[in-house]
Amino acid sequence: MFFKRFYDEDLAQASYMVGCQKTGECLVIDPVRDIQQYLAEAESQKLEITHVTETHIHADYLSGSRELAAQTGAKLLLSAEGGPGWLYRFEAAELHCGDTFKVGNIKVEARHTPGHTPEHLSFLVSDLPRGDLPVMLFSGDFVFVGDLGRPDLLDEAAGGVETRFVGAAQMFRSLRDQFLTLPDYVQVWPAHGSGSACGKSLGAVPATTVGYERALSWWAGFVEKNDEQGFTAELLSGQPDAPLYYGRMKAQNRDGPALLGQVAPLAELDLADVTRKLQGGARLLDTRPREQHYAVAPVNSVNIPAGKTFETWSGWLLTPERPLVLLASAADAESLRRRLWMVGLDEVQGFVQTAEHLPAAPAQPFAASELPQHGDALILDVRKKTEYDDGHIPGARQLHAGRLPWTLGELPREREIVVHCQSGARSGAAASLLRAEGFKVSELAGGYEAWARAQQ
């Protein structure tokens, strides 16, 4: 049996390829939208991608299942569980709990494991040449290493009303009736690792086992004692804010992400092209480091540095209704464009390598010692609510950066807004968005940490 894990460090997302080397067939589970990595791996292993599936309707990234099936001719298999509101709205073979299919000599069984979402499936894999016993469980957003998928996302980001309690009850039953009925030796490969917002304390190692989670997880004692009330209270407590772009991802993944097909290379634009596109409504996405943006900030640009969290912040602060022009090097532009596909930002009209000759103004943050001089300003804390609850500047309003584009109407345009986060990374991007939207914005250098040190 061939096995490979693919991992996106930005969104802490894992997808998997499982293949039968004897028959040359393979399955991809939870693929992302940039499918070249799967095509390249299959070719290098002399495998054909014959099956594609996913564990659930994802909320944190745009799925590549439809794209991969369309380009390879693979059979697309998707959950038909969860009820009418949770059915996929594009053509695919349906999977129900207990259904099995074979990929060469590998048997895959679908297990309905609702809780994170109503339609959620996990996939139990057996390597038949070695026997019928299961070897791996691909658990999606059901069981993580040391944690569970959060059941409150549908309330937080997808317009649900009190669905978290139904989800918690489903999660409890899924653990009791599905997960804990498996042998201890079964490997568990989840769809996310540490850093994902789909849980609150995910482990950093890539996999676990049923036995390890049975013995050491925080939730196992509650299930053993049949304490659903205690389990629910602990599961729902302390969950981080959910970025609001999750609602858009959920709807697009349910309805069917637009197919990319064969995409032409991204064009480099001259000054006249850039000016014309910006005047036509495009947004300049400045991917340079914060310090370079602060020194020369192009007017109406949003600064999301081309680093580890580029996809995450792009999902937080940008919407697909507005096309983008990248301020990026020629070496980085194409890869950044592909990373934007992860969060459904497809309309990139080109790139420019320099900010020279574009209208610009400095955007330097001010020192924490100068905060009293901004006494009439709204202090906007763009950290998570859990961070805010641990300590905050008196009078500050908490609003997670991932909610800004949808809450601009709630912010004052006649007052200065002082933006800060914990140390400065998130607030730089958030402040640039507010500035591009016409707000009177300044930024606290060093964030809450600098302010706290100044009080000592």
- Position 158 scores a pLDDT of 62
Confidence of residue 198 (pLDDT cuts 50, 70, 90): low
Residue 157 has pLDDT above 70, yes or no: no
Instruction: Give CATH superfamily name and number for 368-454.
Output: Rhodanese-like domain (3.40.250.10)
SS3 assignment, position 166 = helix
Distance, CA of 454 to CA of 372 (rounded, Å): 12
Predicted confidence at residue 270, as pLDDT, reads 95
Give me the pLDDT at residue 239, please.
82
What do you get for the CA distance between the two ends of the chain, in Å? 60
The dihedrals phi and psi of 142, each to the nearest 5 degrees, come to -90, -75
Q: Is the dihedral of CA 295, 300, 304, 305 positive or negative?
A: negative
Determine which helix (DSSP H) or strand (DSSP E) holds 339, and give its type and residue range.
Answer: helix 330-341
With 80 as the cut, is the pLDDT of residue 71 above it? yes
pLDDT band at 165 (very low <50, low <70, confident <90, very high): very high
Query: How many whole angstroms separate alpha carbon 338 and alpha carbon 150?
Result: 28
Q: Can you tell me the mean pLDDT for 172-189?
A: 98
Residues serving a catalytic function are 421
Mean pLDDT value of segment 70-82? 97
**What pLDDT score was predicted for residue 243?**
85
Q: Is the pLDDT of residue 200 over 70?
A: no
Q: Which residues pair with 34 in a beta bridge?
A: none
Distance CA 337, CA 6 (A): 19
Q: What is the pLDDT of residue 58?
A: 95
Note whether 368 and 451 are within 8 A (CB).
yes
Q: Is 310 helix (H, G, I), strand (E, B) or coil?
A: helix
Give tens-digit pLDDT for 257-313: 999 998 999 999 999 999 999 999 999 999 999 999 999 999 999 999 999 999 999
Same fold flag, 271-293+303-355 and 368-454: yes
Percent of the chain residues topping a pLDDT of 70: 97
Looking at residue 241, its pLDDT comes to 81
Write the pLDDT tens digit of every residue in 183-197.
Answer: 999 999 999 987 666
pLDDT of residue 172: 98
CATH number for the region 271-293+303-355 comes to 3.40.250.10
3-class SS of residue 77: strand
How does DSSP classify residue 349? E
Contacts of 241 (CB under 8 A, 6+ apart): 156, 384, 385, 400, 402, 403
Average pLDDT, the chain: 94
3-state helix, strand, coil in the chain (%, to 5): 35, 25, 40
Residue 441 or 162, more confident: 441
Res 91 pLDDT > 80: yes
Q: What is each CA distance from 349 to 171, 321, 332, 338, in whole angstroms?
A: 43, 13, 15, 13
Look at the domain 2-255 and name its fold.
Metallo-beta-lactamase; Chain A (3.60.15)
pLDDT at residue 160, as a whole number: 65
pLDDT of 80 strictly over 90:
yes
Domain range list for the chain: 2-255, 271-293+303-355, 368-454
pLDDT per residue over 3-55, tens digit each? Answer: 999 999 999 999 999 999 999 999 999 999 999 999 999 999 999 999 999 99
**How far is 302 from 304, CA to CA, in rounded Å?**
6
